[in-house]
Structure 1
Amino acid sequence: MSKDTKIQWTDHTWNIARGCTKVDEDCKFCYMYRDANRYGYDAKAVIKTKTVFRLPLTIKEPSKIFVSSLTDVFHPDCDSFRDEMWDIIRKCPQHTFQILTKRPDRIKDHLPEDWGPGWDNVWLGTSIGSNKGMKRIYPLIETPAKVRFVSFEPIWERIDMNLDISTLIAIDWAIIGGESGNDTGKYRYRPCQIGWITEIADAITGVGNSVFIKQLGTHLSKEMKLKDRHGGDISEWPGYLQIREFPKGKEASNG
């Protein structure tokens, strides 16, 4: 199956809107802001998309679909059209929708009425790059969902994974990655260390859950003299880092 995205852990990216506002230092070098600067749009204005809003309805083959790379689905400015998003997801049970937010505290109040214990075709996740961002885990794991995941990306400091065992078990899937960016200009990158990646991976795999190491980031790519400037080519990594799993029981569901 062909992919329409460079994001390694999904098949398609579905942008219901473009634009967002930053929540903390994890957002410092946000790629959406970088793209906005390049293409000349207002990164802080959340605008509903037009031509791609109904994209999943046009994809016939069962696929993993990331919602949404250019906005945060649970941003307050998406409130007026989020129900339309849920309706499209409801009509596409053949797809798996991967929803990633930095506002997990808003999830519970903005789920569809028939959500129940979670929809089989929706994975709910939050994004964390630092210890300060770890607070986002708790509202996520308190939300009913068939799959909960954490994207530890971009990691820009060592994250303390000394969590309660029940918290670790509740993280069905962890995506891990260093930050990519430029050496000069406004949108740079912060260093990541191999040890930070392996500590997270060990904590998650240690409770029997799944890990997907997405990229090592620009700093490690330069340090290790890799060809891929983002450190995203798994074939260039040491064998112990070559882990790209999906949630247990979901590996062969589609894509």
Structure 2
Amino acid sequence: MSAVEAAPAVQVRGLRRAYGERVVLQDVSLDIRTGEVVAMLGRSGVGKSTFLRVLGGFDPDAEGQVVVPDNRAIVFQSPRLLPWLKVLPNVVFGMTDPDRRERGRRALAEVGLLDHAGAWPNTLSGGEAQRTALARALVREPDLLLLDEPFGALDALTRMTMHRLVGELLRVHRPATLLVTHDVDEAIALGDRVVVIDSGRIAVDVSVDLPRPRRRETAEVAALRRRLLRELGVDDAELDG
């Protein structure tokens, strides 16, 4: 394998982002390799979404070295579907490929929504709308997929279903993936690595070398969960309670 092939898909070195006197990110460095899922945890306001926006190309004022693929896609907490377009046109919106509708149908089939291709967004459940947003991202075969708390608005059962679906799709499509989340269990379930960001810096970067599915009751998962929760400021009394 050549040095170029071995290079990470995402390379961040010395990233800094400040808003006036308030420094949100300070000296952040991170690599994400092709096919790798990095889950980023942190309390509100520590810079997780700012970091994601930088990788997405939405923040030109950030300082430092940021190397990312040109072909990127983002899934937000809100599906952000266009209400005046049906599901299939939403999925392929902005694409110009002659075969875009067929590609869109394949993407909808992957997320289990091919029979909803002609539906209006306002007829979809929350989980269906988010699966449509996922299809819209994956139909572009991104080299970098950015997931900004994409399951935060879903109920617990739907989240579990989405975790399984997303995990399967990421193993098939193999983009470099950054998942920003507040949910420790979600980070452990989906991440190949889990990063904790605190006060604008990376405090923990740990590989999750555990077989899937990762069950919370196993000793290895429970130990990692306790460690991550401590890093997020949950003390032992709360953990044991």
Shared fold by TM > 0.5? no
Superposition TM-score, scaled by structure 1 size = 0.32
Higher relative contact order (CA 8 A, sep 6+): 2
- Normalized per residue, the structure richer in strand is 2
Superposition TM-score, scaled by structure 2 size = 0.34
Bigger Rg, which one: 2
- Normalized per residue, the structure richer in helix is 2
